[in-house]
């Protein structure tokens, strides 16, 4: 008996190894591995019945934008508390990851800071856009900088490297240090498009995480960068743009133009638990409380609408 | 006498099979990783039509621009400079500590110094990066009146990170020097220092070089800590105090924001392929050094 059970164990072991190696070969993209580990991700668009009742045991994955992640995580927690047995799994990875994961069907929801149309290589027409919040962005400086307001031209000149000292824009004699995001970042794309009119930034310190960017701006004398409004605190100071402060009122009317939608994309119409979750995040309960608490603006408050090309229309 | 023992037989066979499967699996994993990175990384050149020489030597990196530019030379240069700097700082320190532990003060060295240095291995690299960002960068900024984010900061952080590797491998190498050699040297009238320098260090040289190369291989592939203190500027540095990027920081900053299959994403894989090629080269150097030692 002992021999037999040993044999059996060895065989199972070998079998497991082979199975592991087989699936390794079958999924050659390691970037898609996290999604592949959840085999029961619902096929998006499979159930178009329009029912929003939740069913347990059907986990929904929401992958992508790290800027949107805190909001989705908090909402998912609340949603799961209300709907026993429903699993919402939230992961970061960046807007690009979110878009490509949802386009390939590996995730039910792809979170993104930018329109799918703006990313090359994404079949935008296959994806359905759910705008869940708006996030404003502002130029951030260290509190040591004695400047509160910049005109758009001054901002452009600073970020393109034409102005290199704060005294040229009415501040102290202090060297300007640029803190950028990586070229592929959604925050950089938004800031570049709406604050800098698409002019190419000069080289500066580059960091990806908003927390690190805030720390660098706070501690480097004369540093300037840009942050989502949710990231501002006592250590960094937002700058007015052309005299307009970045706040809820100026953003909802587009008087302050540097803002972006937070998108949650699904492949085809949302269905099942994903649909229920998206409806929950758009409900007054979440929009009025969680969204504002976390530093975003409710999508329902927007008085203007903007499309992927940046064209603004009154609602 | 030679009875057929069924139990031994099955155990032998099972053991052999398990070992064989493990070995085969490892080979398959290594080969598939290499194949995967190569297939992705090479498509920059064969699918997107970027010329290899442009990729390796141009200094302009703007994969989303019009026209797109794929010059990764600043990244390559950054990786090499920061690795060399880390090795230059850590090698004398590590080998010095190794000599101290084996030749000068073995009791204290073994009991106190060795565990302390080995403790450095367990600290996660994000902690090194954060400490570097919070202490080292402001320090450099105040001392030299510069930005602070610099090659120097990256080199110092990396030097600290590879110090335990260099120290422990060098310690083993120096310990392996036969006691007879030391005795003979002392008997000829050499001082303790002359013995250490001319006999001990000389005969453990291949081992010490192995230690340095191992440390450099680790430094070359380190991403997070370096990314936090080096500034990630894709511009050629004018001095040690200027910021620069490394291959690893270029990949980590952009990989999550690019779409699979686009030229931008492929270019990042090409950078990964370059890193893989470099680690093969490091391993080759280690092999050659090892062979040298074996001949001795």
Per-residue DSSP letter, A37? T
Mean pLDDT of the B138-151 span? 90
- A56: closest CA of chain B, how far (Å): 31
How many beta carbons lie within 10 A of that of residue B69, not counting itself?
A: 16
A96, B258: Cβ pair inside 8 Å?
Answer: yes
Question: In chain A, which residues have their Cβ closer than 8 Å to the Cβ of B141?
Answer: 220
Mind listing the pLDDT tens digit of every residue in chain A (315 residues)? 445 555 555 544 444 444 444 333 333 333 333 443 444 444 444 333 344 567 776 789 999 988 899 899 999 999 999 988 889 999 988 888 899 999 988 899 999 989 998 888 888 889 999 999 999 999 999 888 889 999 999 999 999 999 999 999 988 999 999 999 988 888 888 899 999 998 888 888 998 888 889 999 999 889 999 999 888 888 999 999 999 999 988 999 999 999 999 999 999 888 888 999 999 999 998 999 999 999 899 998 898 988 888 788 887
| CA B153 to centroid of chain Cα atoms | 17
Give the C-alpha separation, B208 to B95, whole Å: 7
Give the C-alpha separation, B14 to A6, whole Å: 9
| Chain B contact present for A126, CB below 8 A | no
Burial of A25 (0-12, 13-18, 19+ CB in 10 A): exposed
What's the pLDDT at B8?
84
How far CA A239 is from CA of A9, A151, B169, in Å, comes to 66, 10, 53
Residue with tokens 């031994």: B8
Is the pLDDT reported for residue B11 higher than 90?
A: no
Give the C-alpha separation, A4 to A65, whole Å: 52
Tokens of A305: 């609408």
What's the pLDDT at B66?
76
Summarised one tens digit per residue, pLDDT across range B40-96 is 999 999 988 888 998 999 888 888 877 888 999 999 999 999 999 999 999 999 999
Q: What percent of chain B has pLDDT over 90?
A: 66
What's the pLDDT at A58?
74
Task: Indicate the pLDDT class of residue B3, thresholds 50, 70 and 90.
Answer: low
What's the pLDDT at A92?
87
A7, B147: Cβ pair inside 8 Å?
Answer: no
The overall average pLDDT reported for chain B is: 90
Summarised one tens digit per residue, pLDDT across range B170-221 is 999 999 999 999 999 999 999 999 999 999 999 999 999 999 999 999 999 9
Tokens of A81: 């508390």
Question: In chain B, which residues have their Cβ closer than 8 Å to the Cβ of A121?
Answer: 259-262, 265
Give the C-alpha separation, B236 to B234, whole Å: 7
Give the C-alpha separation, A148 to A241, whole Å: 9
How far CA A243 is from CA of A139, A148, A152, A238, B132, in Å, comes to 13, 9, 10, 12, 37
Task: Indicate the pLDDT class of residue B293, thresholds 50, 70 and 90.
Answer: low
How far CA A30 is from CA of A40, A109, B248, B281, in Å, comes to 19, 19, 17, 24
B255, A29: Cβ pair inside 8 Å?
Answer: no
Report the residue of A64, A183, A203 to disrupt the B interface, i.e. the one with the largest count of B CBs within 10 Å.
A183
ipTM of the complex: 0.81
A100, B260: Cβ pair inside 8 Å?
Answer: yes
The overall average pLDDT reported for chain A is: 82
A7, B14: Cβ pair inside 8 Å?
Answer: yes
- B213: closest CA of chain A, how far (Å): 29
Residues A307 and A260: beta-carbon distance below 8 Å: no
């Amino acid at each position: 008996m002992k021999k037999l059970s040993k044999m059996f164990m060895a065989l199972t072991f070998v079998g497991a190894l082979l199975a592991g190696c087989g699936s390794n070969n079958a999924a050659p993209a390691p970037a898609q591995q996290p999604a592949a580990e959840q085999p029961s991700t619902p096929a998006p668009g499979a159930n178009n019945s329009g029912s929003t009742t939740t069913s347990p045991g059907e986990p929904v994955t929401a992958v992508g934008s790290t800027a949107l992640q805190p909001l989705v995580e908090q909402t998912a927690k609340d949603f799961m508390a209300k709907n026993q047995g429903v699993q919402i799994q939230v992961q970061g990875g960046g807007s690009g990851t979110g878009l490509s994961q949802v386009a390939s069907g590996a995730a039910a929801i792809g979170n993104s800071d930018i329109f799918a149309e703006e990313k090359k290589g994404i079949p935008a027409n296959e994806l359905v856009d759910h705008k869940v919040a708006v996030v404003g962005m502002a130029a951030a400086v260290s509190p040591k900088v004695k400047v509160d307001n910049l005109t758009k031209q001054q901002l452009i000149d600073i970020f393109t490297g034409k102005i290199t000292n704060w005294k040229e824009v009415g501040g102290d004699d202090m060297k300007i240090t640029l803190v950028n995001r990586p070229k592929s970042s959604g925050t950089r794309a938004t800031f570049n498009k709406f604050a800098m009119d698409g002019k190419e930034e000069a080289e500066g310190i580059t960091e990806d995480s908003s927390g690190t960017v805030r720390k660098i701006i706070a501690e480097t004398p004369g540093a300037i960068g840009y942050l989502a409004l949710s990231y501002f605190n006592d250590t960094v100071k937002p700058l007015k743009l052309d005299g307009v402060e970045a706040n809820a009122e100026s953003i909802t009317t587009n008087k302050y133009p540097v803002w972006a939608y937070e998108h949650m994309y699904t492949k085809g119409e949302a269905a099942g638990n994903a649909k229920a979750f998206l409806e929950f995040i758009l409900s007054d309960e979440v929009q009025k409380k969680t969204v504002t608490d976390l530093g975003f603006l409710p999508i329902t408050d927007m008085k203007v609408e903007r499309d992927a090309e940046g064209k603004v229309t009154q609602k | 006498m030679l009875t057929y023992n069924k139990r031994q037989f099955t155990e032998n066979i099972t053991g052999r099979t398990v070992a064989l499967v493990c070995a085969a699996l490892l080979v398959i994993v290594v080969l598939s990783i290499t194949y995967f990175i190569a297939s992705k990384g090479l498509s920059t050149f064969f699918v997107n039509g970027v010329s290899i020489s442009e990729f390796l030597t141009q200094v302009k990196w703007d994969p989303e621009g019009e026209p797109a530019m794929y010059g990764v030379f600043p990244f390559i240069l950054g990786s090499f400079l920061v690795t060399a700097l880390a090795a230059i700082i850590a090698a004398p320190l590590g080998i010095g500590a190794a000599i101290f532990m084996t030749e000068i003060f073995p009791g204290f060295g073994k009991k106190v110094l060795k565990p302390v240095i080995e403790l450095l291995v367990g600290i996660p690299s994000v902690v090194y990066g954060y400490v570097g960002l919070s202490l080292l960068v402001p320090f450099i900024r105040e001392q030299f009146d510069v930005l602070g984010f610099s090659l120097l900061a990256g080199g110092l952080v990396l030097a600290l990170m590879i110090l335990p590797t260099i120290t422990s491998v060098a310690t083993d190498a120096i310990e392996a020097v036969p006691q007879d050699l030391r005795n003979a040297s002392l008997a000829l009238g050499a001082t303790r220092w002359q013995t250490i320098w001319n006999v001990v260090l000389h005969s453990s040289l291949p081992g010490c070089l192995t230690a340095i190369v191992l440390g450099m291989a680790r430094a070359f592939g380190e991403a997070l800590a370096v990314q936090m203190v080096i500034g990630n500027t894709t511009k050629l540095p004018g001095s040690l105090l200027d910021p620069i990027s490394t291959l690893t920081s270029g990949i980590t900053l952009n990989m999550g924001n690019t779409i699979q299959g686009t030229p931008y994403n492929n270019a990042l894989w090409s950078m990964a392929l370059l890193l893989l090629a470099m680690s093969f080269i490091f391993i080759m150097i280690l092999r050659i050094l090892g062979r040298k030692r074996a001949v001795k």
